[in-house]
Chain A
Amino acid sequence: MNPAVQNAIPELVELRIPSRAEWVALARLAAATVANRLSFSIEEIEDVKLAVAEACTAVIQHENHGEFIQLTCEALSDSLRIRVHDSGRHSFKATDGRPMDFDEARIAGLGVFLIRTLMDEVSYDVHPQLGTDLLMVKRLSPR
């Protein structure tokens, strides 16, 4: 593990990509690079890659997505915390205006199932003006 991470100094990596399909690969590779610094196993790194890609894909496939996706990866001593932010307004809202719950949202189906299966914690925040945040945590397994 990187000494800075081991010494509990969080390392933060931020990436902003256009909300377009051709940029999703960059987001998943960035997340994989951070995961690699935390000494996750190859299988766990692949889990992180897929979860980030699914989150970005869900944003892109949402008709009201914003122009950019902001990816934030925070390497902590015991976990990797990832935020995928979509600045799109009214994302994940039902037609009657109420916030959708996670499973109702457009990031439904296999993508959401994979995110929930591969990551240890998954939650989301919807802000009417600021957009939607998908928060995911992958914890380091005790070795």
Chain B
Amino acid sequence: MDIKVNVREAPGDCYVVDLGGEIDVYTSPKVKDAIGDLIDRGVYHLIINLEKVRYIDSTGLGVLIGGLKRVREHGGSVNLVCTNPQIKKIFDITGLVKIFGIFDSEESAMKALV
């Protein structure tokens, strides 16, 4: 079981968090820390790239929701990049498609940032 987290700066006062592997109860704290560190540094516009995520459970969703809640307090936003149908299905059935912007590419996610 593994999780890869990479944070990089993107144009427009925004950061991209690349995630890869499996996000579950064991690995989600690492994701939470990465997102939390960015927000603590004053980064409120995030793109979270889930392209290489093979699996996500409710703890992973919880981390993303927590991040979104925090950035929204500062007028920020979180857009997700996701094309894996299995991962998209989880966002669909939980209704989270309504609160996250979910995009097929990083480029479109970036264009849609508030």
* A25 in contact with B26 given A54-B57, A114-B93, A117-B93 (CB within 8 Å): yes
Cβ of A110 and Cβ of B94 under 8 Å apart?
Answer: yes
Q: Is B62 an interface residue (CB 8 A)?
A: yes
Interface residues of B (CB under 8 A from A): 1, 22, 24-26, 55, 57-59, 61-62, 86, 89-90, 93-94
Complex CA gap A22/B90 in Å reads: 22
Interface residues of A (CB under 8 A from B): 21-22, 24-25, 43, 46, 49-50, 53-54, 56-57, 60-61, 109-111, 113-114, 117-118
Chain A residues with CB under 8 A of B89: 43
Cβ of A43 and Cβ of B58 under 8 Å apart?
Answer: no
Smallest Cβ distance from B60 to chain A, in angstroms? 10
Smallest Cβ distance from B54 to chain A, in angstroms? 10
Cβ of A61 and Cβ of B90 under 8 Å apart?
Answer: no
Chain A residue nearest to B87 in the complex (CB): A46
